[in-house]
Structure 1
Amino acid sequence: MSVQESFSRIESWLSKNAPNVLHQLNKPISSMDELDKAEAILGAKFPPSVREAYTYHDGESTESTGLFGGWRWLPLREIIQWNNEQKQYGQKHQFLDFKPSLMIPLLVSNNDFRYVETSGDDGLEETPVIEWNHEQPSRDVKYGSFENYLSTFAERLEFGEYITDANDQQNTCGLALRK
């Protein structure tokens, strides 16, 4: 399923079942130039499905508790901020071989994150979605691409695997896995 089809299904489900969560999604980027500038700042190329996703929404609001079951999708400015913080940390502690631009964090949950690696020089390579657990540092490949991540999420929404994170629809700010 394409990124466009996934977002159509996700937004449709949210509008019927969790409209307040739908409102937590940011507006799309203003132009492809915004993505190009972010890539230049990061020194990294976003995989094609990630680039396309930001044309639908620039991540989620800071008030969101996470559209993706407690995982909040980062806006471009927060990805750039994270990258800058990692560079400063690496310089402070003299980690000469650390290159945060190889990792593009897309989703955060507490101190854990799901990221993609930078695409090839031409920006046409899809890279997997990888989960980094802060408590027990590990690199766990979760999905083959961000497109696959979105597609799987849309299907899981429709199968009823997610519920709102609050009993009151007006106060919900994210989704949680059904227990």
Structure 2
Amino acid sequence: MSRKFKIERDYYADGEYLYKKKHVEFEPGLTVLVGCNGCGKTTLMRQIRLQVEKDLKNPCVLHYDNEKHGGMSSIEKSMFYGDMSFVATSVTSSEGERIALNMQKMASKIGRMMKEHPEENEFWIFLDGIDSGFSIDAIEDLKRGLFDTIFNTYPGKDIYILVRDFGSFGC
């Protein structure tokens, strides 16, 4: 089932309109937000995520933002929980490899969410800024390894995956 959202055109109440459209509609599946830096992709994703969390009674929503949850934040959290294998691998990895490691952790969270809420039919996964440092091969591996697996494992569920900048390499 598709979901339609009203978009706050003047999100920051500064008299500047961010978007030409008043509403956006999403079908279940993978949606990629692509555009130049500063055009409002993250703002749009945040608006949609907050609306979904507000609308759903038992929100089955996961959010990953590479700036907030990746990099040193992920390494520090792993150190806190004693996951020294992740720490060692992350410290010696490129940015793209660290994103792949964090997507493995995200895959576990997605699996847990789906198993904990078998009665739910609507799931939302927001992935913000996961393309930085990713090669084309890594992007294809993530698509095939994570996204396709989710859709094939849970047929009949409305699963929405919104990804910002997935595979766009600038404007």
| Bigger proportion of residues as helix | 2
Same fold, TM-score > 0.5, yes or no: no
Compare relative contact order (CA 8 Å, sep 6+) and give the higher one, 1 or 2.
2
Given the two structures, how large is their TM-score scaled by the length of structure 2? 0.28
